[in-house]
């Protein structure tokens, strides 16, 4: 089974370095594809052996829609050469529970009958007493997490499909019956809040984009990125701390069923529920990220 991974990036060098290291270890660097949003020689330096494609960084009109359309096109092309295409943002890692699977390809292969795989998502959150992130896997250094309906996203497809709104777009006649598959033990680790120093740099870029006058730019989360991050951290600290086994079971039982099936756009996706608890990753995840 041939599996590749695709992402798109602009300057988010630390997150990209971890995306590359993690997925290269699981899939091989030659099976990674990075779309650079604007010419940037540093991307190839950070991702040796990966394929890097540069697209122009022009105006920001309809930013998310244009970016999604490009990625859907690249995704469709890759499905001509690969059995499965994994697709995430550069600050998202597709991880697995070593108690369930020996590797990421094994996790995909175990669920290969599904047309699309959705991962149970969580935010990885730096704590006030955490040391600065050093080289090496993130999940050995940042273990405090909160499960998220918003980041429980469609992450891989075995044929060309449009990804949209964290789900997939399907034919209207298939909207009600399209399979929704969230395998137990397959996760999306969102690193936005895992490195406070980098977060400041990323937020500056987001606010530059979000506060342009172009139509269709991202919303408040980008326009007020610093304030949004402050609200996130306050909400995280207010969540009840549960043991991993209990928190993971509750999150999976809640989010792996009853997906949202949106008539507008004909999209199947996880319900974007906010869960009122947080937890700590077991040490067995420490080799990933």
Angle between helix 13-27 and 196-210 (nearest 10): 110
The confidence score (pLDDT) of residue 59 equals 63
The model's confidence at residue 66, banded by pLDDT at 50, 70 and 90, is confident
What pLDDT does residue 61 have? 58
Q: Cα–Cα–Cα angle for 214, 217, 220, nearest 5°?
A: 125
What pLDDT, on the 0 to 100 scale, is given for residue 196?
85
- pLDDT higher than threshold 70 for residue 5: yes
pLDDT at 65: 77
User: Does 51 score more than 60 pLDDT?
Assistant: yes
User: 87-101, 204-218, 255-269: lowest mean pLDDT where?
Assistant: 204-218
Token pair 């995840």 in the structure block, residue:
285
Task: Kindly tell me if the per-residue pLDDT of 20 is higher than 70.
Answer: yes
Chain-wide mean pLDDT for the chain?
91
- List phi, psi (to 5°) of 240: -70, 135
Q: What is the pLDDT of residues 145-191, one digit of tens each?
A: 999 999 999 999 999 999 999 999 999 999 999 999 999 999 999 99
Angstrom distance (rounded) from CA 180 to CA 157: 12
pLDDT of residue 209: 58
Question: E strands, the chain, where?
Answer: 3-9, 32-37, 51-55, 84-87, 92-96, 116-118, 120-124, 144-148, 154-157, 162-164, 167-169, 186-190, 240-241, 260-262, 267-269, 277-280
pLDDT of 217 over the 60 cut: no
Question: Domains of the chain by range and CATH?
Answer: 3-285 (3.90.550)
In sequence order, the 6+-apart residues with CB closer than 8 A to the CB of 84 are: 1, 2, 3, 4, 108, 112, 156, 157, 158
Interval 39-46 mean pLDDT: 94
In tens, the pLDDT along 91-148 reads: 999 999 999 999 999 999 999 999 999 999 999 999 999 999 988 999 999 999 999 9
pLDDT for 233 beyond 90: no
State pTM to two decimals.
0.91
């Amino acid at each position: 089974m041939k599996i590749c991974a695709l992402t798109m990036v602009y300057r988010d060098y630390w997150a990209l370095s971890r995306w590359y290291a993690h997925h290269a270890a699981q899939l091989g660097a030659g099976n990674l594809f990075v779309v650079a949003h604007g010419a940037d020689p540093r991307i190839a330096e950070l991702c040796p052996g990966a394929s890097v494609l540069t697209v122009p960084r022009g105006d920001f009109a309809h930013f998310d829609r244009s970016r999604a359309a490009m990625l859907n096109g690249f995704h469709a092309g890759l499905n001509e050469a690969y059995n499965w295409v994994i697709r995430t943002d550069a600050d998202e890692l597709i991880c697995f529970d070593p108690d369930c699977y020996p590797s990421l390809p094994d996790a995909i292969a175990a669920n290969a009958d599904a047309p699309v795989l959705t991962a149970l998502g969580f935010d990885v959150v730096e704590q006030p007493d955490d040391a600065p992130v050093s080289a090496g896997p993130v999940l050995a250094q940042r273990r405090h997490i909160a499960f998220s309906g918003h980041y429980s996203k469609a992450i891989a497809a075995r044929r060309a499909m449009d990804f949209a709104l964290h789900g997939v777009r399907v034919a209207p006649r298939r909207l009600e019956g399209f399979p929704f598959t969230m395998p137990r033990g397959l996760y999306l680790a969102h690193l936005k809040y895992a490195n406070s120093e980098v977060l400041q740099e990323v937020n500056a870029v987001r606010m530059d984009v979000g506060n342009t006058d172009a139509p269709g730019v991202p919303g408040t989360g980008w326009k007020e990125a610093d304030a949004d991050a402050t609200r996130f951290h306050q909400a995280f600290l207010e969540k009840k701390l549960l043991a991993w086994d209990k928190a993971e079971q509750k999150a999976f039982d809640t989010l792996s069923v009853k997906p949202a099936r949106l008539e507008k756009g004909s999209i199947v996706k996880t319900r974007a529920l906010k869960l009122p608890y947080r937890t700590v990753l077991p040490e067995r995840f420490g080799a990933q990220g």
